[in-house]
Structure 1
Amino acid sequence: MREWREAGNKFGLLSLYQRFEHLVLIILTALIAIIVAAAVWSLSLKVLFGLVLSGTLDPSDYAVFQAVFGMIFTVIIALEFKKSLLVGAERLDTVVQIRSVVMIALLAICRKVIILDLNETDAPHLVAFAAIIMALGVVYWLVRDRDRRQEPV
């Protein structure tokens, strides 16, 4: 109960636009939570009934591996997005942190690489994915390093 009062007091100190941002973040967080819950439910049903009980779950089958891990990564990306919104709601300076955006982009590219059919993908596309992953990794490292230097000692 004390946390609600403190949150209400902090909310009262915000400007009109900051209040608007926080309300939008709360709505988006709730919507993403609903989507994540539905995705986990759907994934559970597909894995349990579609693969396990039907006897078609063959971990050595690359297509099954791609499909299951693609769905799992989709849920992880949504969770990371929700987390970035919650972190943004707690901060007063900016809504979305660059580090979170880069992390979500890295997760999305990793998901794409996991579900990629290597027999259908040519070398230039693989090099492009590698370059994107390296560039995002460097940006993440630079932003993280900058954030560490700005933290109070």
Structure 2
Amino acid sequence: MKKLLRKVAEVTKDENFMHVIEHIEVIVSKVLSILMVVVILVAIGDLVIFIIQELFTTPYARFNTTLFKIFGLFLNVLIALEILENITAYLRKHVFQVELVIVTSLIAIARKIIILDLEKVTGIDIIGLGIAILALSISYLIIRFSNSRHFH
């Protein structure tokens, strides 16, 4: 029993414990990276299939509405790429890059606005999206400004 207690005390020492936690974080980040690559490849496959189907089946007059769906699918791939960039940046530096997270969020909101069906959305939804864009934009400017001051 004493050996077990000593072993537990050893593992829970700050340095050893943090080393184990960092190791687990790296493993989780690598698994997430691999899964995100799979998601990106599937999203690209969906995009290719959708474009091919729409080009050959959609009448010319309806292609504009299809275009918004295509833009949404393109932005899905971009968002997935940004998330992959967030994960790989974390693997490189072991720090979350808030600027990347904000850019990813801005892309996600832009996607939402592009695919927005104005007939089904209320005014409060549009106001909420506007406030989210404003808040993220201000956050982005603050971070860019503070980063530029640190490097000069």
What is the aligned counterpart of 1:36 among 21, 34, 40?
A: 40
RMSD: 2.0
1:9 aligns with none
Distance 2:61 2:21 in 1: 51
1:53 aligns with 56
Shift of 1:102: 1.2
* Equivalent runs, 1:9-28 vs 2, <5 Å: 15-28=19-32
1:72-106 CA-partner distances (Å, limit 9, x unpaired): 111110110001110111003x2x22112211111
1:100-137 CA-partner distances (Å, limit 9, x unpaired): 22111111111110000123323332222111101100
Unpaired runs of at least 5, structure 1: 1-13
Distance 1:110 1:59 in 2: 25
1:108 aligns with 108
Aligned letter for 1:127? Answer: I
Distance 2:61 2:70 in 1: 10
2:137 aligns with 137
Unpaired runs of at least 5, structure 2: 1-17
Distance 1:131 1:61 in 2: 31
1:57 and 1:64 in contact (8 A); partners too? no
Shift of 1:31: 0.4
1:119 aligns with 119
Shift of 1:58: 4.0
TM-score (structure 1 length as normaliser)? 0.79
Give the ranges of 4+ consecutive aligned residues of structure 1 lying more than 6 Å apart after TM superposition: none
Q: Considering only CA atoms, is the larger Rg found in Structure 1 or Structure 2?
A: 2
Q: Percent identity?
A: 24
1:99 and 1:143 in contact (8 A); partners too? yes
2:72 aligns with 70
1:148 aligns with 148
Does the alignment pair 1:97 with 2:101? no
Deviates more, 1:99-108 or 1:119-128: 119-128
Distance 1:145 1:58 in 2: 47
Distance 2:47 2:68 in 1: 13
TM-score (structure 2 length as normaliser)? 0.79
